[in-house]
């Protein structure tokens, strides 16, 4: 069973902290609350296994200064900012500084839950990639993931570490079950794209029109996903069964 994602809620208003915490806890998240940015920073390290929801206007260290501290520690940490009515310019500035998104008071709890879900999925992917990268940097762990001591397997491991640093397309060829998807994850995890989006599309699983729409759009207004080409920008797009195109 997958462990519940943590959500740190930072707000100087106790009622607001508690209401957000209760709502998200009912949605299956492991919430913890902090009355100030200073208190939160004592707990939120660079590998915090969750996301942050913070008010912008707080006494002492405000939300913008708090966001800068968090981004300086872990630029991939999703931070959702809560703004007062009329503070949209401040929220836009927060997005420029690296905030994941913002909510304007009074906000719809369902919208908050939807945003939290998107942020949690992004964080889970980041943490998974970091773990894989850590394993790949450890020879013993790498041997467990990519089994074999033959010259071919040794060269494969070296190629992954080299190609992971390159900015170009890679064709991964092999029989079914030989670990092509693992290699794709490894290439993503050991390079500059680690921590960014990893998008995997099975070309054989979608009809031509569906595949074209999924890759390039246009998406419908009710779709929460971006076209895969846009969703994977800055990260990695993997086309499985590319021969089906």
Report CA torsion sign: 191, 193, 198, 204.
Answer: negative
Q: How far apart are the first and last CA of the chain?
A: 36
Band of residue 35 on the pLDDT scale cut at 50, 70, 90: very high
Please determine, for residue 25, whether its predicted confidence score (pLDDT) is greater than 90.
Answer: yes
Separation between Cα atoms, residue 160 and residue 146, nearest integer Å: 11
- DSSP string for residues in 152-171: HHHHHHHHHHHHTTS-S---
Please determine, for residue 43, whether its predicted confidence score (pLDDT) is greater than 70.
Answer: yes
**Residue spans of beta strands (DSSP E) within the chain:** 6-10, 30-34, 50-55, 79-83, 101-104, 198-202, 236-240
- The pLDDT value recorded for residue 140 is 45
- The pLDDT value recorded for residue 221 is 66
Percent of the chain residues topping a pLDDT of 70: 91
User: For 94-119, how does the pLDDT look when each residue is reduced to its tens digit (9 = 90+)?
Assistant: 888 889 999 988 888 899 999 999 99
Separation between Cα atoms, residue 31 and residue 14, nearest integer Å: 14
As a whole number, mean pLDDT of residues 88-94 equals: 83
Please determine, for residue 17, whether its predicted confidence score (pLDDT) is greater than 60.
Answer: yes
Please determine, for residue 143, whether its predicted confidence score (pLDDT) is greater than 50.
Answer: no
Average pLDDT over all residues of the chain: 85
- The pLDDT value recorded for residue 224 is 63
- The pLDDT value recorded for residue 148 is 76
- The pLDDT value recorded for residue 88 is 76
Please determine, for residue 10, whether its predicted confidence score (pLDDT) is greater than 80.
Answer: yes
Top-confidence residue, 195 or 36: 36
Separation between Cα atoms, residue 122 and residue 127, nearest integer Å: 9
**Cβ–Cβ < 8 Å for 159, 174:** no
Enter the DSSP assignment of 183: H
Question: Which of 10-24, 162-176, 187-201 tops mean pLDDT?
Answer: 10-24
φ, ψ for residue 197, nearest 5 deg: -70, 135
* Paired strand residues for 31: 7
Separation between Cα atoms, residue 42 and residue 115, nearest integer Å: 25
φ, ψ for residue 227, nearest 5 deg: -55, 145
Separation between Cα atoms, residue 217 and residue 153, nearest integer Å: 39
- The pLDDT value recorded for residue 223 is 64
- DSSP string for residues in 62-96: -HHHHHHHHHHH-TTS-EEEEE-TT-HHHHHHHHH
Please determine, for residue 2, whether its predicted confidence score (pLDDT) is greater than 90.
Answer: no
Structure tokens at 228: 């895969």
- H helix and E strand count, the chain: 10, 7
Structural domains present in the chain: 6-127 (3.40.50.2300), 130-244 (3.40.50.300)
3-state SS assignment for residue 82: strand
* Paired strand residues for 112: none
């Amino acid at each position: 069973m997958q462990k519940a994602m943590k959500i740190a809620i930072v707000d100087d208003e106790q009622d607001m902290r508690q209401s957000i915490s209760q709502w998200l806890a009912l949605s299956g998240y492991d919430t913890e609350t902090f009355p100030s940015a200073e208190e939160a920073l004592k707990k939120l390290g660079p590998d915090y296994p969750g996301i942050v929801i913070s008010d912008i206007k707080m006494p002492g260290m405000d939300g913008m200064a708090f966001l800068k501290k968090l981004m300086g520690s872990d630029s991939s940490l999703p931070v959702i900012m809560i703004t007062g009515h009329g503070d949209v310019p401040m929220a836009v500035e927060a997005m420029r500084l690296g905030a994941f998104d913002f909510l304007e008071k009074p906000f719809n709890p369902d919208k908050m839950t939807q945003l939290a879900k998107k942020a949690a999925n992004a964080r889970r992917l980041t943490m998974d990639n970091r773990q894989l990268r850590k394993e790949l940097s450890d020879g013993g762990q790498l041997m467990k993931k990519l089994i074999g001591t033959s010259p071919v397997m040794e060269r494969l491991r070296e190629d992954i570490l080299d190609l992971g640093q390159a900015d170009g397309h890679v064709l991964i060829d092999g029989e079914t079950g030989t670990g092509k998807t693992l290699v794709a994850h490894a290439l993503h995890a050991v390079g500059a794209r680690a921590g960014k989006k990893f998008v995997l599309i099975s070309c054989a699983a979608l009809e031509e029109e569906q595949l074209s729409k999924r890759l390039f759009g246009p998406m419908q207004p009710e779709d929460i996903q971006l076209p895969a080409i846009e969703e994977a920008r800055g990260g990695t797009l993997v086309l499985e069964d590319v021969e089906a195109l």
